[in-house]
Chain A
Amino acid sequence: MAGRILEAGLHLLDRQLIDKDGRLAGKVDDLELEFPSGGGPPTVTAILAGPGALSRRIGGRFGAWLEAVANRLRDGDDQHPARVSFAVVKGIDSAIDLSVPKRELETNRLEAWTRDHLIGKLPGAGDAPD
């Protein structure tokens, strides 16, 4: 998707991420920008997704609380929000299509935890609805 000029606030922020298999994989909660050394407009290098990124955009007391929770939920001293490299973005329309399955994304950690420790333990969790 290199070189395309987008209104980041309008076409990227808060859009749904969809992985390679059509599964919903989080929102574009924030963007990582790089400012070229020679000046000129910044380019988007990554999508930031998950509570860590969202908390900074919400701000205020709730944002601070959310950020504290997000930091608690992360392993070790890793303080950066979950990051999806812009290189895996395949298409941008009413959602952002990615070229990788979501299990390979950092944003998948909370969902995997909920599945492994809570919902996946209930009987029938792996069955297709019938």
Chain B
Amino acid sequence: MKRLFSVALGILTAIGGFVDIGDIVANSETGARFGMSLAWVVVVGVIGICLFAEMAGRVATVSGRAVFDLVRERLGARVALVNLVASFFITFLTLAAEIGGVALAIELATSVNYLLWVPIVAFCVWLVIWRVKFEVMENAFGLLGLTLVVAAVALWRLGPDWGGLLHGATHPVVPQGEGHPTWWFFAIALLGAAMTPYEVFFFSSGAVEEGWSRADLITNRLNVYIGFPLGGLLSLVLMAGATLFLEPRGIQPGHLSQVALPTVLVLGKLGLAVLLIGFFAATFGAALETGLSCGYSIAQYFGFQWGKFVRPAQAPRFHLVVLVSVLAGAGLILTTLDPITVTEYSIVLSAAALPLTYFPILVVANDPDYMGDKVNSRFTNALGSLYLLVLVVVAVATIPLMVLTKAGS
């Protein structure tokens, strides 16, 4: 019974934890501009993150070594340092975007300018990381994030032309007036949002934080294979909402309020209230994950004590990195740089850096020295290699496409 409960809890938190500011922005923007024609990318991204998160969780569980620990070991001090600089920068940018996202959600609820909320949000993010137990933190925000389901309720209440949405998703065509490069640029942004590297840093470190053993491997599988796809479905709901409400009106969501529009129109104020709780929980939860991931990546590269399974005084350098990252992230948003723009850059740059994270995971998941009999199956390897090939193509194409399309504008 207890096992069943913990599995169910893990799945639910994986659903709520999947969606973050990057998914909210990317899915709404693509829906508003391209309808459902890029829905297939979300499917590709979800399968990818399932594949590699399961691998990372399994490696961490069996060997006790989290992802960046292995990046250092497999790539050596020099190459891993380049990787660390890139990964840390992207995770930090995402942290800043999430802090901005939380502040925007509170602004919508209070009509007080988001910039005033940024310092308070940053302080609360740090305080939760400093004080709250890992499991409590993860479960609370994961479960609260499930309130995003209200967007799905709104969509269902509206009774849209499901056949039309499905047809748009299964017969992707570039809408008139949009160029192919822009369409592909948004495809890359969606993939970056679904497969952001911090998710595997956090997931694998979380397995160590929670002290997973081989008996937890089944929990690892279920969390990933059920939780993430359902989280991906929530992303698609946001895309469908934007397709139905924003695309026909020619609205390009530049603010969180426009993302909320479909839910408000169908369910009114109460719907908006629930959705805002969802936005808040999803972005705050992701701010915790990215804040911790900043600390995880640096500490694991240098071999510092890290983690919330010890007292803060026992992992001083880890907590110093987290503290400085949260402060600097808040500082970046306080420069009045638009949080939505920061989000867009964070997901596109994530896409460009994907092979850096996923290549070492694939290598170690095949190493019997670490994995014993739990090495990848042939099928997993075939799929993993195929993904890596795609990720390399994406990484090479990202920056030229960004320049060519002026970042999709």
Contact = CB atoms under 8 A, between A and B. Distances in A.
Interface of A: 13-17, 23-27, 29, 49, 54, 57-59, 62, 93-95, 110-111, 114-115, 118-120, 122, 124-130
Given A124-B130, A129-B134, A24 B306 contact: yes
A29 B131 contact: no
What is the predominant secondary structure among interface residues of chain B facing chain A?
A: helix
A94 B63 contact: yes
Contacts of B301: 27
Interface of B: 63-65, 69, 72-73, 76-78, 80-81, 130-134, 299, 301-306, 308, 310-314, 316-317, 319-320, 323, 369-370
Contact of B78 (A59, A94, A95, A127): A59
Contacts of A130: 131-133
Contact of A125 (B65, B299, B302, B311): B311
B77 A94 contact: no
A interface: dominant SS: loop
A14 B76 contact: yes
Contacts of B131: 124, 127, 129-130
A114 B317 contact: yes
A14 to B, nearest CB: 5
Contacts of A57: 77-78
Given A14-B73, A54-B77, A119-B319, A95 B65 contact: yes
16 contacts: A13-B76, A23-B314, A27-B301, A54-B77, A57-B78, A58-B78, A94-B369, A94-B370, A95-B64, A114-B320, A118-B320, A119-B312, A119-B313, A124-B131, A125-B316, A127-B312
B73 to A, nearest CB: 5
Nearest to A24: B305
B310 to A, nearest CB: 7
Contacts of B314: 23
Q: Which of B80, B131, B132, B313 has the most chain A CB atoms closer than 10 A to its own CB?
A: B313
A129 B133 CA distance: 5
Contact of A24 (B63, B304, B308, B370): B304
A114 B318 CA distance: 10
Contact of A14 (B77, B306, B316): B77
A115 B132 CA distance: 20
Nearest to A117: B316
Contacts of A122: 130, 312
B133 A26 contact: no
Given A14-B72, A16-B69, A129-B132, A111 B308 contact: no
B132 A94 contact: no
Contacts of B320: 114, 118-119
A114 B316 contact: yes
Given A124-B130, A130-B133, A27 B312 contact: no
